[in-house]
């Protein structure tokens, strides 16, 4: 599905990262990969994962810095010249923003950082890489239901994901003329590093399984397979879309339960 496609994967922190599930699925479909990592601190972890993915193209990119993004572009030019798309699997808000009552805990600075790292960075990467992306390229980002429905503690990340989803549509409109598609996957909750500090996350997973039509949560592999499809030419007619990979949770207002017909 992805033979002859060169794709940059951002957002791998460790073996639990959704981005690693995506990288593995894309590799299985024949893609050639480059791995971007946030900083030196993560490099050791990411190096061994890159070995498994059989790539030696490792690129430092901290999306909070325009300079770092610029440098990553130069590395891409040196390694590949041009390429066929990237996966944006990055989200962050200061931890104090993600616990407590939304109106009380949200600060100007917390709001700014959440939107900068979790939404603007998608625009920033598209802007920087645009002229080295081949026609038929595909960009992909990861979002969450908190963009359109409320829940405890997700707070300002919900606003940032709403922005990211609008970003997906505006980038799709903007890059359509260059034949670059832009899509998002809204994943169900998965136990990753970004979820590890979250209060009652285990309870969220069990409630998800209870309400979801498929009666379970989803895996990094399932998100990865959908990502591979969306970035392949099989999805050539799809752009600006939010695809839910959540075992159907978002369509269900109430679980049918074990005893209903």
Residue 154 C-beta: closest distance to ligand 0WE, Å: 4
Using CB under 6 A as the binding rule, the residues of this chain from 212 to 251 that contact ligand NAD are: none
Question: Residue 1: CB partners within 8 Å, gap ≥ 6?
Answer: 29, 30, 228, 229, 232, 233, 234
Which of 69, 93, 175, 212 binds ligand 0WE (CB under 6 A)? It is 93
CA 64 to chain centre: 16
Residue 212 C-beta: closest distance to ligand 0WE, Å: 14
Using CB under 6 A as the binding rule, the residues of this chain from 172 to 231 that contact ligand 0WE are: 189, 194-195, 197-198
Q: Rounded distance, CA 22 to CA 231, Å?
A: 11
Binding track, positions 80-109, relative to ligand NAD; x by CB under 6 A: ---------xxxx-----------------
Using CB under 6 A as the binding rule, the residues of this chain from 124 to 183 that contact ligand 0WE are: 144, 153-154, 157
Q: Rounded distance, CA 233 to CA 196, Å?
A: 35
17 near ligand NAD, judged by CB under 6 A: yes
Nearer to ligand 0WE, 83 or 92 (CB): 92
* H/E element, 231: helix 220-231
Q: How many helices (H) and strands (E) does the chain have?
A: 10, 7
Q: Is 154 annotated as catalytic?
A: yes
For residue 135, CA distances in Å to 73, 105, 185 come to 18, 44, 22
* Angle made by CA atoms 182, 8, 124, in degrees to the nearest 5: 55
Cβ atoms 19, 10 nearer than 8 A? yes
Question: Residue 127: CB partners within 8 Å, gap ≥ 6?
Answer: none
Q: Which stretch binds ligand NAD (CB under 6 A): 79-87, 130-138, 185-193, 234-242?
A: 185-193
Binding track, positions 114-143, relative to ligand NAD; x by CB under 6 A: ---x------------------------xx
Catalytic residue IDs: 144, 154
Q: Which residues bind ligand NAD (CB under 6 A)?
A: 11-13, 17-19, 38, 42, 61-64, 89-92, 117, 142-144, 187, 189-190, 192-195
């Amino acid at each position: 599905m992805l033979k002859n496609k060169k794709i940059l994967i951002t957002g791998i922190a460790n073996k639990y990262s959704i981005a690693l599930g995506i990288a593995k699925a894309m590799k299985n479909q024949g893609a050639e990969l480059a791995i971007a990592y946030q900083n030196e601190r993560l490099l050791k972890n990411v190096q061994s994962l890159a070995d498994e993915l059989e790539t030696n193209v490792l690129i430092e990119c901290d999306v909070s810095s325009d300079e770092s993004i610029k440098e990553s572009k130069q590395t891409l030019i040196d390694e590949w010249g041009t390429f066929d798309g990237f996966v944006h699997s990055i989200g962050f808000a200061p931890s104090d923003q993600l616990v407590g009552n939304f109106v009380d805990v949200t600060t100007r600075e917390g709001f700014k950082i959440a939107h900068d790292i979790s939404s603007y960075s998608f625009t920033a990467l598209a802007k920087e890489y645009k002229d080295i992306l081949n026609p038929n390229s595909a960009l992909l980002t990861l979002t969450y239901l908190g963009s359109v429905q409320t829940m405890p503690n997700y707070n300002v990340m919900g606003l940032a994901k709403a922005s990211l989803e609008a970003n997906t549509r505006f980038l799709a409109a903007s890059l359509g003329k260059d034949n670059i598609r832009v899509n998002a996957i809204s994943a169900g909750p998965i136990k990753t590093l970004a979820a590890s500090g979250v209060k009652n996350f285990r309870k969220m997973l069990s409630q998800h399984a209870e309400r979801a039509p498929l009666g379970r949560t989803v895996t990094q592999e399932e998100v990865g397979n959908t990502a591979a499809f969306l970035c392949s030419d099989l999805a050539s007619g799809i752009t600006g879309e939010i695809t839910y990979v959540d075992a159907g949770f978002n369509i269900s207002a109430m679980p049918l339960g074990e005893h209903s017909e």
